[in-house]
Structure 1
Amino acid sequence: MLTLIPLLLIGGCGRKNPVEEISPAKSNVKVVDVATDESMLSWPTWRGPKRDGVVPDQPLLTQWSDEKNVLWRTDVPGRGHSSPIIVADSIYLATAIADSQKQQVLAFDRATGKPIWTTDVHTGGFPSERAVHYKATHANGTLACDGVRLYTAFLNSDAIIASALDLDGNILWQREIGKFVSKFGYAPSPVLYKSLVIFAADNMGGGYLAAVDGESGEIAWRVARGNISSYSSPTVANVGGRDQLLISGCDVVASYDPATGEKLWSTPGTAEATCGTVIAAPDRIYASGGYPDKETACFSADGEKIWSVRTKVYEPSLVLNDDRLFAVSDDGVAYCWDADTGDVVWRERLGGKFSASPIVCNDLVYVSNLSGETFVFKNENDAFKLISTNRLGDDAYASPAVADSQMFMRVGVGKGTKRQEQLVCLESETP
């Protein structure tokens, strides 16, 4: 997840790249259902199997430290806010090596943490230091996997370049999906829909959504989004009985047909710039922002705004547990709302600053701050209940992944030039 603090734009403000829209009729790319082996896709995308931070119920530890309940830890080269994904017996991450300007995809053995392979996706082509926020990295987006291919996109050579790799790390195809004028860097993660991989690229030079055929890399459709820099990942959910591609940012919450890119609806809300990913229930949609406006809101399946509160949740995404909506703001305040009405059930200051997004498992919310503390709490009889506070490393920008009662976290250890990123597997002694 990209970390954002409003800064003076230093350069590039005048450059515009008109977006050439591509329709399915023009591309002639067919969208088809894809058979997947769900058993191997434990945590295959950003925010998990349903892209909403909800972990399938399973025993999961609630207490750990640098010494306690660590099954293994392994060094991760470079820097990245890319969260881990879990596919069969492997863990995959994206990272970037600043000195040599390498953007890489890494694979690790899930049982031992040992590196399996490293693929250089790009060498050179990094944006200038002025075009990337000082807290950000050149590998912010989380990978997506359909069980056959890994998909990622990087900002490189002033464009967003999508890539597909097989599970052995071989690059299958690469495709420039559009130009990109960077204000703070590139953050979104791809989302899968049937045979398509969908990427968002809101930027001040000319933003767009683009869908690419997963097998061939051909662009199936591309639609313009305006000239505003925003950072949210798209998501796909079935809401109101139809599949919807949902995204916040650019002063609206918008819905598109994921098969064609046709806009279904667009409702003013949240903020100009957002980072969090929209979440959905069968008949409701929830989104938050942002900069410069402050709003967390609920929408109907057709985009009607049902309720709204003036609460800013910029970088971390929301998470829904039954009829309670949870959030942790960037400045460390946890919120619980009635998901139907928007009424505040409770608010509690946790402490610290937050970029990572929460997950929920067995009615427990897990979320890490930028000091490496992970808070585990729950809503009990409509009151906040802290279960534990656990430190691991010295910082945590990425969000956790969970499978088979194990939790995988990407953390930073040390400070400054001595900082080293690590991938850590946590497991209860008595799962």
Structure 2
Amino acid sequence: MAFGRWVIATTVTVLLCLRIAPAGQWPNWRGPHFNGSADEQGLPESWTDTDNVVWTAPLPGPAASTPAVWDGKVFVSSPVKGGDDLLALCFDARTGRPLWSTKVGKSDRNFPRNNLATPSPTTDGHSVFFLYGSGDLAGLDFDGNIVWSRNIEADYGNITCQFGYGSSLMAFDGKLYIPVLRRETAWREPRAGEPFESYLLALDPATGKTLWKHVRQSDAQDESLDSYATPIPFESGERTEIVLTGADYVTSHDPATGAELWRYCYARDRRDTRWRLIPSVVTGAGMIFGVQPRGGNDLFAIKAGGKGLLSQSDIAWTFGRVTPDVPTPLFYRGNLYVLDGERGGKVLTCLDPKTGRAKWQGKIGGGGPWRASLTAADGKLYCINEDSEAIVLSAGDEEFNILHRFDMKDEPVQASIAIADGRLFVRTASKLTCVGK
């Protein structure tokens, strides 16, 4: 479509958001299972500038958002380096050919270590959804036409996170979920409408209209109210929950109404005013795994079936010391992988999710911090650090084993590696690279 075209549809077909994506897709930041893993086979364990590189495509600017992949299309959100436009991009997954570029918003805001294209796009298999740190939000069809658009900041007030809004939206089971966990007083202009509420929002993906808005209460203070985490679904028995972490609490919500089912205070022994939270929760082995903020503090396992305010008896185990500040843990083939990407040689730990026992641990090193989250498929773990050094490791509970390390020489990088259709999709500062055999 023509660049910058805005289309508002008067009628749309009601969409059914998929609970689990079919094979070959990567519909959101954490993949088809919402845990960082995919079921792909035949993936490469190494690549260079030329070997196992299927194609590369230039990008207009760097961003921390991870690509989404669906039915042969790769969706990418991007700023324009040196400009103010916020773009939704689409590439042919087989060839890298640009299919369309649509302007969704515009803003000149700047943040340290971040920009307005940090939230990752998501798709329900019918439409693709883009959210930006300016509050601009749009649902597009697969030809790049804007079906609906709105600005959640215009609707609900300033998104006040100190380092810019960084949560990704999530499509699940007929709803589109958007979290805004923010301090009560704006970090930047505009300052009208204070004090601000934090909330979890559910939208109709067909129209963009609000289905419900749940105000999320917290007694956290100052920067500890900021959260950059993304909501994750959790299914246990006959109950489905939407789980969100930040502002000193993990909370579980009823998908039908947003009503809070339970909450756990992860800061009960340390009420810090600077405990902003970045990693999302991950689920597996019938439990929910979360981390305390800023790295080096506890990772904890929450038992299923909780109600009301949880106590320490609802925690199966905790694991401390080498835990992440930024990367979200990975659950893959019965193991929990935790990456401390900044301290002590950058330590990766493989944990037994049922007991919290460390099966193995090793240092991945590298020049820069590891702020992207681990992803996995085909018995391999993939990650890339801020200095654009990619690493491949063996998955499993045998031993720590680095298979490959390669400097892609295109920094800075904070986006996680997407895995779909037997290939890797690696977003670096100025290009998108497809890696495959």
Partner of 1:349: 363
CA contact (8 A) 1:161 1:174 kept: yes
Query: Where in structure 2 are the equivalents of 1:353-368 lying within 5 Å?
Result: 353-368=369-384
Counterpart pick for 1:143 among 98, 115, 121: 121
Instruction: Find the aligned partners of 1:106 and 1:380 in 2 and give their Cα distance.
Output: 35
C-alpha deviation, 1:399, in angstroms: 0.8
Partner of 1:320: 331
CA contact (8 A) 2:54 2:435 kept: yes
Query: Where in structure 2 are the equivalents of 1:277-292 lying within 5 Å?
Result: 277-281=280-284, 283-291=286-294
CA contact (8 A) 1:53 1:319 kept: yes
C-alpha deviation, 1:379, in angstroms: 5.1
Query: Where in structure 2 are the equivalents of 1:258-297 lying within 5 Å?
Result: 258-269=255-266, 272-281=275-284, 283-291=286-294, 294-297=297-300
Output the amino acid matched with 2:85: K
Do residues 309 (structure 1) and 309 (structure 2) align? no
Q: CA RMSD in A?
A: 2.3
Partner of 1:233: 230
C-alpha deviation, 1:345, in angstroms: 2.0
CA contact (8 A) 1:359 1:367 kept: yes
Output the amino acid matched with 2:142: L
Instruction: Find the aligned partners of 1:367 and 1:35 in 2 and give their Cα distance.
Output: 27
Three-state SS of the structure 2 residue aligned to 1:155 is coil
CA contact (8 A) 2:169 2:179 kept: yes
Instruction: Find the aligned partners of 1:37 and 1:378 in 2 and give their Cα distance.
Output: 26
Partner of 2:105: 122
C-alpha change, 1:54 and 1:68, in structure 2 (3 Å) is: same
CA contact (8 A) 1:239 1:282 kept: no
C-alpha deviation, 1:282, in angstroms: 5.1
Three-state SS of the structure 2 residue aligned to 1:375 is strand
CA contact (8 A) 2:119 2:133 kept: no
Do residues 337 (structure 1) and 340 (structure 2) align? no
Three-state SS of the structure 2 residue aligned to 1:192 is strand
Instruction: Find the aligned partners of 2:122 and 2:416 in 1 and give their Cα distance.
Output: 14
Instruction: Find the aligned partners of 2:18 and 2:373 in 1 and give their Cα distance.
Output: 29
C-alpha deviation, 1:176, in angstroms: 3.1
CA contact (8 A) 1:239 1:281 kept: no
C-alpha deviation, 1:92, in angstroms: 0.6
CA deviation vs aligned residue, 1:136-194 (integer Å, no higher than 9, x gap): 121001111112211122222xxx33211111111111223322223110111111122
- Percent identical pairs in the alignment equals 26
Do residues 371 (structure 1) and 346 (structure 2) align? no
C-alpha change, 1:69 and 1:82, in structure 2 (3 Å) is: same
C-alpha change, 1:144 and 1:204, in structure 2 (3 Å) is: same
Query: Where in structure 2 are the equivalents of 1:200-215 lying within 5 Å?
Result: 200-205=179-184, 206-215=197-206
Output the amino acid matched with 2:209: E
Partner of 2:11: none
C-alpha deviation, 1:230, in angstroms: 1.0
Instruction: Find the aligned partners of 1:190 and 1:347 in 2 and give their Cα distance.
Output: 32
C-alpha change, 1:37 and 1:243, in structure 2 (3 Å) is: closer
C-alpha deviation, 1:381, in angstroms: 5.5
C-alpha change, 1:382 and 1:59, in structure 2 (3 Å) is: same
Counterpart pick for 1:397 among 407, 414, 423: 414
CA deviation vs aligned residue, 1:389-431 (integer Å, no higher than 9, x gap): 222233331111112221110013xxxxxxxx10001112xxx
Output the amino acid matched with 2:169: P
C-alpha change, 1:50 and 1:321, in structure 2 (3 Å) is: closer
Instruction: Find the aligned partners of 1:36 and 1:250 in 2 and give their Cα distance.
Output: 27
C-alpha change, 1:251 and 1:218, in structure 2 (3 Å) is: same
C-alpha change, 1:380 and 1:116, in structure 2 (3 Å) is: closer
C-alpha deviation, 1:69, in angstroms: 1.1
Partner of 2:193: none
C-alpha change, 1:33 and 1:299, in structure 2 (3 Å) is: same
- Where does the alignment leave 5 or more consecutive residues of structure 2 unmatched? 1-13, 185-196, 307-313
Question: TM (normalized to structure 2)?
Answer: 0.82
Question: TM (normalized to structure 1)?
Answer: 0.83
CA contact (8 A) 1:108 1:115 kept: yes
Deviates more, 1:94-103 or 1:163-172: 94-103
C-alpha deviation, 1:261, in angstroms: 0.4
Instruction: Find the aligned partners of 1:42 and 1:323 in 2 and give their Cα distance.
Output: 21
Counterpart pick for 1:174 among 137, 149, 155: 149
Instruction: Find the aligned partners of 1:219 and 1:96 in 2 and give their Cα distance.
Output: 26
CA deviation vs aligned residue, 1:332-387 (integer Å, no higher than 9, x gap): 21111121111222221111310111112133211111222222223565421222
C-alpha change, 1:182 and 1:283, in structure 2 (3 Å) is: closer
Partner of 2:423: 406
C-alpha change, 1:39 and 1:235, in structure 2 (3 Å) is: closer
Partner of 1:28: none
Output the amino acid matched with 2:427: R
